[in-house]
């Protein structure tokens, strides 16, 4: 007879949209004795990761690395470039865009929120219209979320840059890529982004604990006159120390070993192949959802996320009760609905260290869990996903070969 609370057999399926599964190569890289962060071995490591991370952001400029969650990188982006009372334009695309707005308010900024329904991405035309109306250039920054982790909706960053340029507005462009970097094509330099915010625990395949600011020359110039208080988050001391392979405070040494390995893994696969892999798995997931007869939260096909899929529950059925059923029976964690979506959606993460069989196992757990929880739906979602994977297998192999 099985004892109560016995440890479940097999691996835990962590299929939330971050933190993601950490691959063995990265775990082994972090399993390293702590070293002197003022010694030559660390200096070599720091120079390696500070240079190696730039291609992931597709930038030639500096990338600042903090021992923090992504929230710290949000704060760093704001306090390094803005002054008390500055107005900033933000767009309500979901829970995390809302949290960034609240953080800006706490810092003494004046965020203006373009309202949204949490089912669409940023409307670049709305951004352009608001900036055109800002004749006095009171708005100092435009802050958007590239991939909204709470909703599975991606926004067109290049279109927002075109909107800012069309309005001939000098506002800085700041972009949260916490659940898109290393998973969805993102181009800091080519899209004219001034500050990119990122975290370690999603597409970079690391545990939580590192955050990033990729910084443009325009943002560095703004930092010289910015008057919000900053100490720990200050770019100036960080960049000065980084130039010689050092940090102005104790860095997260073992996470940096993991970061070096993650960079190697992404570059070995090739960024184009990484992005194509994520797109393929996302399309297969959406095929499964449609086959089940369930509804995607995202209403804009152009905004479908390749990192995660948010699924609406049928009326009268609780998403958290379904998630609890899946966890109990299959030892799999799915993402919950946040704030206004609590109990209404579940989120399937398909990013990071992820392959076809991981996806099939994940969707199998969802399909069985829907039946066990009594959620009205059709069967055949897993088969629909496998049909997509099989039909696209040749193309995926070609992309991988091209990256070699």
Phi, psi of 239 (to 5 degrees): -70, -35
Give how far Cα 68 sits from Cα of 76, 85, 379, Å.
Answer: 11, 26, 42
Average pLDDT over the chain reads 96
Query: CA angle at residue 112 from 107 to 114, to 5 degrees?
Result: 135
Respond yes or no on whether the N-terminal peptide bond of residue 19 is cis (omega within 30° of 0).
Answer: yes
In this structure, are strands 139-145 and 87-91 parallel, antiparallel, or unpaired?
parallel
Report pLDDT for 399.
Answer: 65
Per DSSP, 339 falls in state G
Residue tagged 């390995």 (tokens): 261
Confidence of residue 54 (pLDDT cuts 50, 70, 90): very high
Radius of gyration of the chain (CA): 22
Furthest CA-CA distance within the chain: 74
In sequence order, the 6+-apart residues with CB closer than 8 A to the CB of 141 are 78, 81, 82, 86, 88, 89, 171, 172, 173, 174, 194
> Using one digit for the tens of pLDDT, what is the confidence trace for 209-255?
999 999 999 999 999 999 999 999 999 999 999 999 999 999 999 99
pLDDT digits (tens, 9 = 90+) for 274-333: 999 999 999 999 999 999 999 999 999 999 999 999 999 999 999 999 999 999 999 999
Q: What residues does each domain of the chain span?
A: 24-267, 270-403
| Burial readout 330-346 (b: 16 or more C-beta within 10 A, e: otherwise) | bbbbbbbbbeebeebbb
Q: What span, in angstroms and rounded, lies between the C-alpha atoms of 337 and 349?
A: 13
Encode pLDDT of 178-211 as tens digits. Answer: 999 999 999 999 999 999 999 999 999 999 999 9
Residue 39 has pLDDT above 70, yes or no: yes
Q: Give residue 324's pLDDT.
A: 98
Dist CA 312 CA 292 (whole Å): 12
The whole-angstrom separation of Cα 182 and Cα 27 is 18
Q: Which is higher by pLDDT, 269 or 32? A: 269
Determine if residue 227 is labeled as part of a ligand binding site: no
pLDDT value at position 2? 47
Beta partners for residue 218, in sequence order: none
Q: Residue 400: its pLDDT value, please?
A: 65
> How do 345-349 and 332-336 pair as beta strands?
antiparallel
Q: Is a pLDDT exceeding 50 seen at residue 68?
A: yes
Which one-letter DSSP state was computed for residue 2?
P
Q: How many helices (H) and strands (E) does the chain have?
A: 14, 14
| pLDDT number for residue 3 | 53
pLDDT, residue 397, reads 65
Which pLDDT band holds residue 1 (cuts at 50, 70, 90)? very low
Residue 401's CB is within 10 A of a number of other CB atoms, namely: 10
Q: What is the strand order of the sheet 13-15 is part of?
A: 13-15, 332-336, 345-349, 308-312, 295-296
**Alpha helices, H only, 144-184:** 157-166
Give the separation between CA 246 and CA 42, rounded to whole angstroms: 8
Kindly state the average pLDDT of the residues 42-63: 98
pLDDT given at position 7:
73
pLDDT of residue 51: 98
What the block records as the tokens of 336 is 């919950």
Q: pTM for the full model?
A: 0.96
**pLDDT tier, 55 (very low <50, low <70, confident <90, very high otherwise):** very high
**How many Cα atoms are found within 13 Å in the side-chain-facing hemisphere of 382?**
15
Task: Of 2-6, 12-16, 154-158, 188-192, give the lowest mean pLDDT range.
Answer: 2-6
Please answer whether residues 184 and 307 qualify as being in contact, where contact means their C-beta atoms are separated by less than 8 angstroms. Answer: yes
In this structure, which topology does domain 270-403 adopt according to CATH?
3.90.1150
Distance spanning both ends of the chain, measured CA to CA: 52
Question: What tens digit of pLDDT does each residue of 74-126 get?
Answer: 999 999 999 999 999 999 999 999 999 999 999 999 999 999 999 999 999 99
Interhelix angle 40-52/253-269, rounded to 10 degrees, is 40
Query: Tens digit of pLDDT for each residue in 334-393?
Result: 999 999 999 999 999 999 999 999 999 999 999 999 999 999 999 999 999 999 999 999
The beta-strand segments (E) located in 200-331 are 210-215, 295-296, 308-312
- CATH of region 24-267: 3.40.640.10
């Amino acid at each position: 007879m099985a004892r109560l609370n016995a440890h479940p057999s097999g691996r835990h399926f962590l299929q939330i949209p971050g933190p993601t599964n950490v691959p063995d190569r990265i775990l082994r890289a972090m399993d390293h004795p702590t070293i002197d962060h003022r010694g030559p071995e660390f200096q070599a490591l720091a120079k390696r990761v500070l240079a190696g991370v730039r291609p992931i952001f597709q930038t030639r400029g500096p990338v600042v690395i903090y021992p923090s969650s992504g929230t710290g990188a949000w704060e760093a982006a704001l306090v390094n470039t803005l002054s008390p009372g500055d107005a900033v334009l933000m767009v309500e695309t979901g829970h995390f865009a809302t949290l960034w707005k609240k953080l800006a308010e706490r810092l003494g900024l004046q965020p203006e929120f373009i309202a949204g329904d949490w089912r669409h991405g940023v409307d670049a035309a709305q951004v352009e219209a608001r900036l055109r109306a800002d004749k006095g250039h009171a708005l100092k920054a435009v802050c958007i979320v590239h991939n909204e982790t709470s909703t599975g909706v991606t926004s067109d960053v290049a279109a927002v840059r075109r909107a800012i340029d069309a309005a001939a507005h000098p506002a800085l462009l700041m972009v949260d890529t916490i659940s898109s970097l290393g998973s969805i094509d993102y181009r800091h330099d080519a899209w004219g982004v001034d500050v990119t915010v990122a975290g370690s625990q999603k597409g970079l395949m690391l545990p939580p604990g590192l955050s990033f600011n990729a910084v443009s020359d325009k943002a560095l110039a703004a930092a010289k006159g910015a008057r919000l208080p900053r100490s720990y988050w200050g770019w100036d001391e960080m960049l000065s120390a980084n130039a010689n392979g050092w940090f102005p405070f104790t860095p997260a040494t073992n996470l940096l070993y993991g970061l070096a390995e993650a960079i190697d893994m992404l570059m070995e696969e090739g960024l184009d192949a990484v992005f194509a892999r994520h797109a393929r798995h996302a399309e297969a997931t959406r095929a499964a959802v449609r086959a089940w007869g369930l509804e995607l939260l995202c209403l804009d096909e152009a905004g479908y996320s390749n990192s995660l899929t948010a699924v609406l529950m049928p009326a009268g059925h609780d998403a958290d009760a379904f998630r609890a059923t899946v966890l109990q029976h299959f030892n799999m964690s799915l993402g919950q609905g946040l704030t206004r979506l609590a109990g209404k959606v579940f989120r399937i993460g398909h990013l990071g260290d992820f392959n076809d069989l991981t996806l099939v196992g994940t969707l199998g757990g969802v399909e069985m869990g829907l039946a066990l929880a009594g959620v009205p739906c059709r069967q055949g979602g897993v088969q629909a996903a496998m049909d997509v994977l099989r039909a696209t297998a040749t193309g995926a192999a070609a992309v991988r070969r091209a990256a070699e």
